[in-house]
C-alpha cells in the first residue's frame, strides 16, 4: 500500500470549498483640482475593517504596557499553499535560521532524515505533509527578539481540516506560491480558507531557481484570480539557475545570501541593468497601496515621494486590514530570500492584540464578547487539535485571554468538567519543551486533558465559548475489515482517528454488516489504512471507493399518515399531516404549525427525532438527504395509546411516503478538476475528460505546460490517476475538490436504485 510520491500527488483528492465571499468593489474617484489620479476602493471591506479597528483600539487600551510589549513581539503564523509549493522546505530554513535546528534536511532528501516538520514516518517517506506541525522559534530583528508560533500545514486538499484548524487559531499566514506554476487550484482554496477566518497574509513566491520561473506572472495571477491587490516588495537578481538574490525596492538595496546555507546577508548597490525595473515596480507598489490605504492615497495624490517608513506603514495597515498582500521572492531550496520573509512577518503581519477575537458568554444568553489579549484577564483558550502521543492525548490550545499555568484547574465550557493542567509544553514538531506558564496570544499543548477538538476552556470564573471551526462534509467512503481477528486494535484505531480528525468518519452499517469509513478523498482514507497497519499492527481489506451520494426531492408532496398498533398489549397511535417540500439552500428543515394542541409538544419533539433519523438514510438508496423541509401542521393523538415512539414512527413513515411522491432525485458530488501537463498532451487530456463527462471550463497555456479546469462527477474520477498517467506518459498532475451536488443522469439514478433494491432483496 506504499504509494510513490508521483502517484500520491495525482491521487484523487476531494473537499468542500465554499464560495469565496468577495466584497463588491466600488469605484471611488479622488479627483482634486489639477490631479487626474484615480483610486479604486473596496468600500464594504473598508467599512468592515474600520469598525473592527475601532473595537481593537478600545481593547488594546485595556492592556497593560507590559502586555502590549509582549504581544508586539509575538506572531502566530501559518504556512499554507498548493501541494508541493515548498512549504516544508521553506519552514526547514526558518527553523535553521532561527536556530531551532542545527542542520537542514530536505523533504525526501538523500540523507534519509527528512524535514523536521514532517515528523510522521509516512510523511517523510512520501514527502508530503499530512498533519500540521507546530513549532516555536525566535527571530532577532533590530536587536529585539521576536517569538513565532509557526504551523506548517498540508497542501493536499484531503487533509484540509488541518488547514482549517490552523487558520482558526493563527493571526497571519505566509502564502507560498510556486514561481513556475503560479496560482494553482489549491492556492485558491487556501485563499478562501484565509478569508473565512479573516487571516491577513504575505505571499512568498518560491522556486525562483526553477526553469520557467516568472514571479510577475504569478503576481498578476494573485491580482486576477484571488482578487486581492498584490504587489512585489522585491525584484529578482538573475533568474532560474542564475538566480542570485533580490533587490529590496523599498530601501533600494541589493541583498545576497552568502555562506554554505545562505545564513549571511550581504548588501550591495542595485545592478545598473535593474535600476529601471526597480523604479517601475516601486511605482506599482505605491499606486497599489494608494488604492487601499488612505494615508498613502494622500501622499500619492499630492505627488510626493513617500518615505521608507510611510511605505512600510501603509503596507502594514493594508495587510492587517486584509486589503493587500505584499509579495516577497526567493528559493527555499537554494537558501535564498527566507530571512526577508521573517522580517516581513514582523513588519507586516499582526501581533495577537491586533486581531479581533470574540466569544459567546454562555451565562448571558450567548451574548457576544470581545476578548482582550492580556495575561491579566481571566483565562480563555481554545483546544483546536488533538493528537495521541507517546504520553497520552496531547491537546493543542491557543490562549486568547489570560494565561495558562501548570498545575492550575481549567473548565471545559462544553462539558462543564474541571481539569488540572498537569503538564504544559511548547511544541517543536514532535519534540516538546516544558514550560510553567503560557500567556495571552500564545499556542501551547497540554497532556491528559479529556476534551474534543473545538472545546473552549476558561479559568472557571467566566462562561465563554468560542465558535468552532468549519468541518467539511465527506465525499468518499469504502468498506473496511481487518484481515486478522484483532477487532480490539481495529476499533481502537478508528476511535482515535475520529477523535483527531473530524473529517474522518467510521460507522457500522447494519444492512451490509460492514464497517464503512468515509473522508475527504481516496488519499485521505489510504493514509488512515496505512497508519492502522503501522501504528496498530492491523492490516485491512477494503472495498472499492464509493461516492457519497445524497437524496433530495424536486416538488412538494402532502402527507397524512396514522401509525396504529392497537391489537393486544400496549398500543401505539400517532397521526401526522403536513407537507414535504424541497429547499433551495440544501439544508434540511423541520417546522411545526399545530393549532389547538392537536399534537402536544413532547410528541412534536419525537417527530423531530423521526425526521432527523429519516434524513440520515434516504428512502431511495439509503444515502443522506439534502434540502428537504418537513412541515407538520395537523395530527391526532389517542388518550391511552399515543407515546413518543408512535409519533417517531408515524413521522418516519409519512416522510418516506411523501418523499417517494415528490419526484425524488439522487444527487452526486461534482468535482472541480484541475489538470496540469506538458502542452503536447493537451489533445489527449481533452478527449480523456470528454469521455468522463467533464465540462471543461477554462484552459491556460503557459510556455511549456497548460492547466485545464473542468467540472466532473466524482464517480467518473476513480481510477483517473491511471488514465492520466497513460495519457501523459506520467507527466500530468491533477487535483480534485468538491464543488457542488447535482442530480445524476436518469440512467445512473435507475442503475443506483436497481442496485440498492437488489442488495435489499439479497439480505
Ligand X SMILES: Nc1nc2c(ncn2[C@@H]2O[C@H](COP(=O)(O)OP(=O)(O)OP(=O)(O)O)[C@@H](O)[C@H]2O)c(=O)[nH]1
Q: Interface with ligand X by CB under 6 A: which range of 330-338, 504-512, 606-614, 635-643?
A: 330-338
Q: Map residues 152-181 to x or -, x wherever contact with ligand X holds by CB under 6 A.
A: --xxx-------------------------
Q: For strand 546-547 and strand 550-553, is the pairing parallel, antiparallel, or unpaired?
A: unpaired
Query: Binding residue per annotation — 586?
Result: no
Using CB under 6 A, which of 331, 429, 456, 479 touches ligand X?
331
- For residue 178, the minimal CB distance to ligand X (Å) is 8
User: Considering the rule CB under 6 A, would residue 207 count as an interface residue with ligand X?
Assistant: yes
Helix or strand run (H / E) with residue 187: helix 185-196
Q: Interface with ligand X by CB under 6 A: which range of 62-70, 86-94, 262-270, 311-319?
A: 86-94
User: Considering the rule CB under 6 A, would residue 125 count as an interface residue with ligand X?
Assistant: no
**Helix axis angle, 601-616 relative to 644-661, nearest 10°?**
50
Which residue reads 463527462 in cell numbers? 693
Contacts of 435 (CB under 8 A, 6+ apart): 406, 424, 425, 426, 444
Q: Interface with ligand X by CB under 6 A: which range of 95-103, 138-146, 202-210, 731-739?
A: 202-210
For ligand X, the closer of residues 332 and 673 by Cβ is: 332
For ligand X, the closer of residues 107 and 717 by Cβ is: 107
- In this structure, are residues 734 and 673 in contact, taking their beta carbons and an 8 Å threshold? yes
Phi, psi of 89, deg, nearest 5: -60, -45
In angstroms, the Cα distances linking 369 to 55, 502, 577 are 11, 27, 43
For ligand X, the closer of residues 86 and 664 by Cβ is: 86
Which residue reads 474534543 in cell numbers? 452
Query: Binding residue per annotation — 115?
Result: no
Contacts of 107 (CB under 8 A, 6+ apart): 88, 89, 92, 114, 115, 118, 127
| DSSP designation for 593 | -
For ligand X, the closer of residues 133 and 254 by Cβ is: 133
Query: Binding residue per annotation — 638?
Result: no
Rounded Cα distance between 439 and 434, Å, is 14
Strand partners, 669: 741
- For residue 503, the minimal CB distance to ligand X (Å) is 17
- If you count them, how many residues does the chain have? 763
CA 285 and chain centroid, separation: 30
For ligand X, the closer of residues 88 and 477 by Cβ is: 88
- For residue 9, the minimal CB distance to ligand X (Å) is 8
User: Considering the rule CB under 6 A, would residue 340 count as an interface residue with ligand X?
Assistant: no
For ligand X, the closer of residues 127 and 326 by Cβ is: 127
Q: Interface with ligand X by CB under 6 A: which range of 81-89, 390-398, 529-537, 687-695?
A: 81-89
User: Considering the rule CB under 6 A, would residue 209 count as an interface residue with ligand X?
Assistant: yes
In angstroms, the Cα distances linking 565 to 66, 392, 602, 614, 655 are 73, 52, 20, 21, 19
Using CB under 6 A, which of 14, 107, 199, 349 touches ligand X?
107
Rounded Cα distance between 287 and 300, Å, is 7
**Residue count at the site for ligand X (CB under 6 A)?**
24
Q: Interface with ligand X by CB under 6 A: which range of 201-209, 214-222, 533-541, 672-680?
A: 201-209
Query: Binding residue per annotation — 87?
Result: yes
In angstroms, the Cα distances linking 10 to 107, 478, 601, 674, 719 are 18, 19, 53, 11, 10
Using CB under 6 A, which of 75, 87, 105, 648 touches ligand X?
87
Instruction: Look at residue 357 and give its three-state secondary structure.
Output: coil
Q: Interface with ligand X by CB under 6 A: which range of 18-26, 162-170, 205-213, 692-700?
A: 205-213
Instruction: Look at residue 607 and give its three-state secondary structure.
Output: helix
- For residue 136, the minimal CB distance to ligand X (Å) is 19
- For residue 731, the minimal CB distance to ligand X (Å) is 16
Q: What DSSP line would sit under 618-630, residue for residue?
A: -TTTSPPB-SEEE
Query: Binding residue per annotation — 77?
Result: no
Using CB under 6 A, which of 10, 11, 45, 89 touches ligand X?
89
- In this structure, are residues 736 and 26 in contact, taking their beta carbons and an 8 Å threshold? no
Closest CA to 89 of 176, 211, 210: 176
Phi, psi of 569, deg, nearest 5: 65, -165
Contacts of 277 (CB under 8 A, 6+ apart): 235
- For residue 116, the minimal CB distance to ligand X (Å) is 11
| DSSP designation for 271 | P
User: Considering the rule CB under 6 A, would residue 127 count as an interface residue with ligand X?
Assistant: yes
Using CB under 6 A, which of 45, 70, 71, 88 touches ligand X?
88
User: Considering the rule CB under 6 A, would residue 282 count as an interface residue with ligand X?
Assistant: no
Query: Binding residue per annotation — 206?
Result: yes
For 487-505, b where at least 16 C-beta lie within 10 A, e where not — what string?
eeebbebbebbbbbbbbbb
Query: Binding residue per annotation — 208?
Result: yes
Q: Interface with ligand X by CB under 6 A: which range of 276-284, 326-334, 518-526, 532-540?
A: 326-334
Using CB under 6 A, which of 183, 255, 332, 685 touches ligand X?
332
For ligand X, the closer of residues 132 and 643 by Cβ is: 132
- For residue 237, the minimal CB distance to ligand X (Å) is 15
- For residue 190, the minimal CB distance to ligand X (Å) is 11
Query: Binding residue per annotation — 83?
Result: yes
Site for ligand X in 629-648 (CB under 6 A): none
User: Considering the rule CB under 6 A, would residue 333 count as an interface residue with ligand X?
Assistant: yes
Query: Binding residue per annotation — 147?
Result: no
Binding residues for GTP: 81-88, 152-156, 206-209
**Footprint of ligand X (CB under 6 A):** 81, 83-89, 106-107, 127-129, 154-156, 206-207, 209-210, 331-334
Amino acid at each position: 500500500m506504499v504509494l510513490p510520491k508521483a502517484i500520491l500527488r495525482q491521487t484523487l483528492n476531494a473537499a468542500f470549498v465554499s464560495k469565496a465571499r468577495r466584497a463588491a468593489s466600488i469605484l471611488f474617484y479622488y479627483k482634486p483640482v489639477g490631479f487626474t489620479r484615480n483610486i479604486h476602493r473596496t468600500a464594504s471591506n473598508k467599512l468592515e475593517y474600520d469598525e473592527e479597528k475601532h473595537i481593537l483600539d478600545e481593547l488594546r487600551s485595556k492592556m497593560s504596557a507590559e502586555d502590549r510589549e509582549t504581544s508586539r513581539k509575538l506572531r502566530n503564523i501559518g504556512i499554507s499553499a498548493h501541494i508541493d509549493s515548498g512549504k516544508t522546505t521553506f519552514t526547514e530554513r526558518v527553523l535553521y535560521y532561527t536556530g531551532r535546528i542545527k542542520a537542514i534536511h530536505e523533504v525526501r532528501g538523500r540523507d534519509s532524515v527528512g524535514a523536521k516538520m514532517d515528523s510522521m514516518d509516512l510523511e517523510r517517506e512520501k514527502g508530503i505533509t499530512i498533519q500540521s506541525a507546530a513549532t516555536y522559534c525566535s527571530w532577532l530583528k533590530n536587536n529585539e527578539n521576536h517569538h513565532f508560533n509557526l504551523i506548517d500545514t498540508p497542501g493536499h486538499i484531503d487533509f484540509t481540516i488541518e488547514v482549517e484548524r490552523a487558520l482558526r487559531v493563527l493571526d497571519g499566514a505566509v502564502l507560498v506560491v510556486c514561481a513556475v506554476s503560479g496560482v494553482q487550484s489549491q492556492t485558491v482554496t487556501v485563499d478562501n480558507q484565509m478569508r473565512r477566518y479573516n487571516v491577513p497574509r504575505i505571499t512568498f513566491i518560491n522556486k525562483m531557481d526553477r526553469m520557467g520561473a516568472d514571479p510577475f506572472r504569478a503576481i498578476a495571477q494573485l491580482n486576477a484570480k484571488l482578487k486581492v491587490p498584490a504587489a512585489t516588495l522585491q525584484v529578482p537578481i538573475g533568474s532560474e539557475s542564475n538566480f542570485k538574490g533580490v533587490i529590496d525596492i523599498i530601501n533600494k538595496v541589493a541583498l545576497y545570501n552568502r555562506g554554505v546555507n545562505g545564513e549571511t546577508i550581504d548588501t550591495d548597490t542595485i545592478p545598473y541593468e535593474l535600476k529601471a525595473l526597480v523604479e517601475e515596480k516601486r511605482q506599482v507598489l505605491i499606486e497599489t497601496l494608494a488604492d487601499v490605504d488612505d494615508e498613502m492615497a494622500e501622499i500619492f495624490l499630492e505627488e510626493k515621494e513617500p518615505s521608507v517608513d510611510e511605505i512600510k506603514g501603509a503596507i502594514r495597515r493594508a495587510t492587517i486590514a486584509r486589503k493587500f498582500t505584499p509579495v516577497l521572492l526567493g528559493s527555499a531550496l537554494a537558501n535564498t530570500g527566507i530571512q526577508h520573509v521573517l522580517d516581513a512577518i514582523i513588519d507586516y503581519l499582526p501581533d495577537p492584540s491586533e486581531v479581533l477575537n470574540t466569544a459567546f458568554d454562555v451565562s448571558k444568553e450567548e451574548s457576544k464578547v470581545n476578548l482582550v489579549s492580556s495575561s491579566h484577564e481571566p483565562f480563555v483558550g481554545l483546544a483546536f487539535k488533538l493528537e495521541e502521543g507517546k504520553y497520552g492525548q496531547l491537546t493543542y490550545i491557543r490562549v486568547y485571554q489570560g494565561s495558562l499555568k501548570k498545575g492550575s484547574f481549567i473548565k471545559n465550557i462544553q462539558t462543564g468538567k474541571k481539569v488540572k493542567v498537569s503538564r504544559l509544553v511548547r511544541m517543536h514538531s514532535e519534540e516538546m519543551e516544558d514550560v510553567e506558564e503560557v500567556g495571552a496570544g500564545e499556542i501551547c499543548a497540554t497532556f491528559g486533558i479529556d476534551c474534543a477538538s473545538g472545546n473552549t476552556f476558561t479559568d472557571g470564573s467566566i462562561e465563554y465559548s468560542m465558535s468552532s471551526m468549519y468541518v467539511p462534509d465527506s465525499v468518499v467512503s469504502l468498506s473496511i475489515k481487518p484481515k486478522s481477528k484483532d477487532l480490539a486494535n481495529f476499533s481502537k484505531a478508528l476511535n482515535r482517528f475520529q477523535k483527531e480528525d473530524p473529517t474522518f468518519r467510521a460507522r457500522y452499517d447494519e444492512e451490509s454488516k460492514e464497517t464503512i469509513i468515509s473522508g475527504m478523498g481516496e488519499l485521505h482514507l489510504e493514509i488512515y489504512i496505512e497508519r492502522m497497519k503501522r501504528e496498530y499492527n492491523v492490516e485491512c481489506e477494503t472495498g472499492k471507493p464509493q461516492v457519497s451520494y445524497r437524496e433530495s426531492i424536486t416538488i412538494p408532496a402532502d402527507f397524512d399518515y396514522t401509525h396504529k398498533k392497537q391489537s393486544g398489549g400496549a398500543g401505539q397511535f400517532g397521526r401526522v399531516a403536513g407537507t414535504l417540500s424541497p429547499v433551495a439552500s440544501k439544508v434540511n428543515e423541520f417546522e411545526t404549525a399545530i393549532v389547538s394542541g392537536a399534537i402536544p409538544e413532547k410528541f412534536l419533539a419525537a417527530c423531530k427525532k423521526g425526521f432527523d433519523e429519516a434524513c440520515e438514510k434516504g428512502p431511495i438508496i439509503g444515502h443522506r438527504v439534502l434540502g428537504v423541509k418537513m412541515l407538520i401542521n395537523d395530527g391526532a393523538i389517542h388518550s391511552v395509546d399515543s407515546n413518543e415512539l408512535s409519533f417517531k414512527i408515524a413521522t418516519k413513515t409519512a416522510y418516506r411516503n411523501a418523499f417517494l411522491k415528490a419526484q425524488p432525485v439522487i444527487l452526486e458530488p461534482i468535482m472541480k478538476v484541475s489538470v496540469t501537463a506538458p502542452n503536447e498532451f493537451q489533445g489527449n487530456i481533452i478527449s480523456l475528460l470528454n469521455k468522463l463527462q467533464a465540462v471543461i471550463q477554462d484552459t491556460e497555456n503557459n510556455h511549456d505546460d497548460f492547466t485545464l479546469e473542468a467540472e466532473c462527477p466524482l464517480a467518473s474520477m476513480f481510477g483517473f490517476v491511471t488514465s492520466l498517467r497513460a495519457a501523459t506518459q506520467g507527466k500530468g498532475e491533477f487535483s480534485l475538490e468538491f464543488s457542488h451536488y447535482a442530480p445524476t443522469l436518469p440512467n445512473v439514478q435507475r442503475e443506483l436504485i436497481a442496485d440498492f433494491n437488489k442488495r435489499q432483496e439479497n439480505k
